[in-house]
Amino acid sequence: MVLLFLCPGVNPVGWSRELAALMPELELRIWPEVGDVTQIDAALVWQPPPGELQRLPGLRLIQCLGMGVDGLLADSTLPPVPVARMFDPGIVTQMAEYVCEAVLYHHRRLADYAALQRERRWQRLPWQDTVRRRVGILGLGEIGAHTARQVQRFGFAVAGWSRSPKVLEYVAGFYGDDTLPAFLQRTDILVCLLPLTPTTRDILGARELALLPAGACVINCARGEHLVEADLLAALDSGHLAGATLDVFRQEPLPPDHPFWTHPKIRVTPHVAGLTHPRTAAPLVVENLRRLQAGEPLLHRVDRVRGY
């Protein structure tokens, strides 16, 4: 079995080590040193240069390094080979960690306290009871479901919205487009963890943000394209929304002159909420290679029409 590591900019050292430990017989080639292209069975990819996968005539599996496959599926040169997305339990815990911190940050008004500290002002701001603070999680896949659980453990009133019905005992469930307005109306802290598909692109625009209660906050750690950036700025500047924590952007890296960098109500992080780590992610890659060899169904195979 020959696997091509086709992830420009990603350090292959940890991957070589973890894959060799789990599958010693695997031959790993690191792009751009592809060797004889006819020998390559599978590719582990992240943002592959368009056209590169087309050069591999024997390719039988495209394993995405990330949990989101939107970028890969948007590539019109992608060959008609089965695509599997990443399932990394490490990303799931990292994302929950990021969201819990952001929820607590907004809930406990830490931005306001930081501003008061800069002015050397000792002032207590009104506190809202945790059980009355309504957190809403958009997307109840592996990441959303686990994150909802962790947020709920602090005592917040947690609801989740997803396109298809998902029953989670610790989350008030809203399913389908018709329920989105009611979900937004009951949400003080909104967390976006959706996959990016044609139906979720721009899902958070002026109309949706207006449905959030006054003083609500937005946390986006899914994809920049979920959020209409100008509409978020308008909702913050009008005073309708109180703050936002953003890890993802329509253009990454976020351009130096982008208003988000300096906006007093926005916290920016550089797409770090959940990063694939070879120690926790290599087992899935190896399992899918084993399944490929044995002719068994792949794990986390992507439905190209659905988009995830």
Enumerate binding residues for ligand GLV (CB under 6 A).
66-68, 91, 276
Q: How many CA atoms lie within 13 A of 217 on its CB side?
A: 24
Nearest to 269 by CA among 220, 230, 202, 217: 220
Q: How far is the CB of 140 from ligand GLV (least distance, A)?
A: 17
Q: How far is the CB of 66 from ligand GLV (least distance, A)?
A: 3
Q: How far is the CB of 146 from ligand GLV (least distance, A)?
A: 15
As a 3-state breakdown, the chain gives helix, strand, coil percent values, each rounded to 5, of 35, 20, 45
Residue at 270: amino acid letter: P
Q: How far is the CB of 95 from ligand GLV (least distance, A)?
A: 9
Rounded-to-integer distance, Cα 281 and Cα 90, Å: 7
* Burial track 30-45 (b if 16+ CB lie within 10 A, e otherwise): ebeebeeeeebbbbbb
CA 32 to chain centre: 28
Residue tagged active-site, from 108, 109, 271, 291: 271
If the CB atoms of residues 67 and 145 are measured against ligand GLV, the closer one turns out to be: 67
If the CB atoms of residues 37 and 275 are measured against ligand GLV, the closer one turns out to be: 275
Q: How far is the CB of 35 from ligand GLV (least distance, A)?
A: 28
Active-site residue 271, yes or no?
yes
Active-site residue 223, yes or no?
yes
Tokens of 240: 């309708």
Residue tagged active-site, from 106, 146, 223, 300: 223
If the CB atoms of residues 49 and 58 are measured against ligand GLV, the closer one turns out to be: 49
**What secondary structure does DSSP assign to 144-213, as a single string?**
HHHHHHHHHTTT-EEEEEESS----TTSEEEESGGGHHHHHHT-SEEEE-PPP-TTTTT-BSHHHHHHSP
Rounded-to-integer distance, Cα 244 and Cα 248, Å: 12
For residue 30, which phi and psi values (nearest 5 degrees)?
-105, 115
CA separation, residue 110 to residues 8, 136, 265 (Å): 38, 20, 11
Q: How far is the CB of 191 from ligand GLV (least distance, A)?
A: 15
If the CB atoms of residues 159 and 282 are measured against ligand GLV, the closer one turns out to be: 282
If the CB atoms of residues 1 and 72 are measured against ligand GLV, the closer one turns out to be: 72
If the CB atoms of residues 140 and 184 are measured against ligand GLV, the closer one turns out to be: 140
Q: Which residues are catalytic?
A: 223, 271
